[in-house]
Structure 1
Amino acid sequence: MTKIILGKICSSHGILGWMKIFSYTEKKKKIFQYNPLYYEIGNKKNKLKIQDWKCQKNFFLIRVKNIINRSASDLLKNIKIFIYHTQLKHIKNVYYWYELINFEVFNTQKKFLGTVKNIIRTPSNDILIINKKKNYQNKEILIPFIEKKIIKKIKRKKKKILINWNI
């Protein structure tokens, strides 16, 4: 199953086992709507059983079941928080970033441009980072994710994206 990273435990906070977390979700508080949340230590998957949380500027403080002191919370420092893709709601014509990674990208003239390496968020729109190998060198192409105008079609089953873009 595909893991979706939603955040990270940054550090301990105080002596009572509270931990500072940073949410990667678009709307930061939405991280608490996913249930269950998981983390891994080594190869062991664990549920993150949050008992309480509070907002602090750009991060959150959480209290986790059975973590009652700083020593215990220090063991989870820098651990990623995730869910499985099966926990996400699938909405027609809505694409999660993880789904588009490694999709092949073609322009409307059927020219292969490369594969989606990553997606970044900007204030105006998301940007596809396309990895294009040219003369044995990796080159990146940045394509604005603007549906209908630039992104013409996304074929989930074929893992292809058709765009209106010339290089």
Structure 2
Amino acid sequence: MSRKEKHEKLVVMGVITSAHGIRGEVKIRSFTETPEDIAAYGPLLLDDGPQEVEILRLRPTKGAFIARLKGVEDRNAAELLRGCKLKLPRERLPEPEDEDTFYYSDLVGLKAIKRDGSPGGEVIAVHDFGSGDLLEIRPEGARETYYLPFTKEAVPQVEIAKGRVIINPPKELEEDALKRTGSGRHKQRRQKKNKARQAQKTPSDDAEKA
């Protein structure tokens, strides 16, 4: 299995943003639907592995959690984990119960098909910069990308089993990406909206994910 294939099977559950105090605690930002559920999934991979960490205790702080990790006993050890993403293999996560909810990892790589049936490119990433989910799409024949709000209007259908999403993009977004491909300019970020998620529910539901 290649590193890329391995990475695609992992779902980001959270990220260690900094060390906290002198006793080895860290600050974690959780991406699970119920934030404290990040501690309920058992050992989590650091980045793409193979190293794992287990969250022993969590306590809330503003916009994050302070966590005690198994085997991390001092600030020096905690500092080494700064910026590490906490991941879980996709197969350990339950399927979404809501048909309009998806894991980010399930959306990446889907073909984008326009409503008229013509090819629209590929979903290369899913982002949330603060005001909703965005699909990052690379149009056919382009190196550059554009951001499409993950809303019913812009993305009326998601067909995971068929490996595609049906999109309704403003014509100017595609044209701009193609122009920037031709001119060599860097891509520009756009605004967002909607609903996909990296992690949801708790393993106790016995049909969970992240």
TM-score when normalising by structure 1: 0.80
Query: Secondary structure of the equivalent of 1:6?
Result: strand
AA matched with 1:37: L
1:22 aligns with 2:23: no
1:38 aligns with 2:45: yes
- Number of residue pairs the alignment of both structures matches: 162
Match in the other structure for 1:159: 163
Report if the CA contact (8 A) 1:40-1:80 is conserved: yes
Query: Secondary structure of the equivalent of 2:144?
Result: strand
Alpha-carbon distance between aligned partners in 1 of 2:46 and 2:131, rounded to the nearest angstrom: 32
Note the 1:4-19 alignment, pairs <5 A: 4-19=11-26
CA RMSD of aligned residues (A): 2.6
1:51 aligns with 2:90: no
Greater share of strand: 1
What is the CA deviation profile of residues 26-57 of structure 1, one whole-angstrom value per residue up to 9, with x for unaligned ones?
A: 5433322333322258x5332x2222111111
AA matched with 2:81: L
Note the 1:1-167 alignment, pairs <5 A: 2-39=9-46, 44-46=50-52, 48-92=53-97, 93=99, 94-121=101-128, 125-134=132-141, 137-147=142-152, 149-165=153-169, 167=171
AA matched with 1:52: R
Check 1:120–1:77 CA distance in 2 against 1; reply closer, same or farther (3 A cut): closer
AA matched with 1:33: A
Check 1:122–1:81 CA distance in 2 against 1; reply closer, same or farther (3 A cut): closer
Report if the CA contact (8 A) 2:120-2:140 is conserved: no
TM-score when normalising by structure 2: 0.65
Structure ranking higher on relative contact order (CA contacts 8 Å, 6+ apart): 2
AA matched with 2:126: I
Q: How many percent of aligned residue pairs carry the same amino acid?
A: 25
Alpha-carbon distance between aligned partners in 2 of 1:95 and 1:140, rounded to the nearest angstrom: 22
Check 1:51–1:130 CA distance in 2 against 1; reply closer, same or farther (3 A cut): same
Query: Secondary structure of the equivalent of 2:136?
Result: strand
Alpha-carbon distance between aligned partners in 2 of 1:111 and 1:166, rounded to the nearest angstrom: 14
Pairwise CA distance, 1:106: 1.0
Structure 1: runs of 5+ lacking an equivalent: none
Pairwise CA distance, 1:7: 1.7
AA matched with 2:124: K
Greater share of helix: 2
